[in-house]
Amino acid sequence: MNVILLGFPGSGKGTQAKAVAEKLGMLHFSTGDIFREEIARKTPLGGKVQSYLASGRLVPDEVVIEVIKSRVTGANKGLMFDGFPRTVEQAQALDEFFEARGEKVDAVVFLAVPEQEVVNRLASRRTCSKCGRIYNLNSNPPAAEGKCDDCGAPLTERDDDKPEVVAKRLMVYKDLTEPLIAYYRGNGVFLEVPGALEPPAVTEGLLAALSGKTA
């Protein structure tokens, strides 16, 4: 089964994609994680995308598609996509990729979270500078202030979580990404799950929504 998780920045896509992928034995692909890894390694791709991420703009379609294809080719498990596709053009490219493999997108799930809740979450989000674990200073703080529970590295605020960038990210999302909902509704694979609940409850909601796709 191949699944796409959609939602506003800060809606919890990354946390939920990892949880559901682990429970269902799927491979989790996060474009955000991949890009941040490339930036940390100071690769040519990392240098190319850093300016886009820091300013809240979307990375160009051709770059994203190239990265996804290179990472997904050869995968022999179901795939869970988090942060991709973000445009209808990317969705069409992914459909073509799966068609060539004799596969398809089985489900597209939108995490429904009120916009103000998203803004509040992003303002208090912190990320481990080493392992990438995500914390929320209000709902999921680290045991020791400013340090990751897993590896002890410092926690940082991402450039794209700063208020002025968040406003632009939400605007970009609405302009370019929301049309994906209409695209996938037309394909008959669209589902919606409440995303403003406690994380374990959201995970259960996702698993319940996907249960019909695995039957």
Residue 165 placed within a domain = no
CATH number of the domain at 24, please: 3.40.50.300
Residue 91 placed within a domain = yes
Q: Which residue has the higher pLDDT, 42 or 163?
A: 42
pLDDT for residue 185: 93
Residue 150 placed within a domain = no
pLDDT for residue 61: 86
Per-residue confidence band for 26, with pLDDT thresholds at 50, 70 and 90: very high
Q: Which residue has the higher pLDDT, 91 or 58?
A: 91
Cβ density class 37-63: b for 16+ within 10 Å, e for less = ebbeeeeebbeebbeebeebebbebeb
Mean pLDDT of the region 157-173: 84
Q: Which residue has the higher pLDDT, 170 or 20?
A: 20
pLDDT for residue 214: 56
160 has a pLDDT exceeding 90: no
Looking at the 3D structure of the chain, how many domains does it have?
Answer: 1
215 has a pLDDT exceeding 60: no
Residue 25 placed within a domain = yes
Mean pLDDT of the region 92-101: 92
Instruction: State whether residue 173 is helix, strand or coil.
Output: helix
Residue 156 placed within a domain = no
As a three-state string, the secondary structure of 43-75 is: CHHHHHHHHHHHHCCCCCHHHHHHHHHHHHCCC
188: alpha, beta or left, given left = phi > 0 and alpha = psi -120 to 50?
Answer: left
Task: Flag whether the pTM goes above 0.95.
Answer: no
Q: For residue 66, give its domain range.
A: 3-115+177-214
Active site residues: 13, 86, 125, 158, 169
Residue 194 placed within a domain = yes
Residue 192 placed within a domain = yes
Residue 143 placed within a domain = no
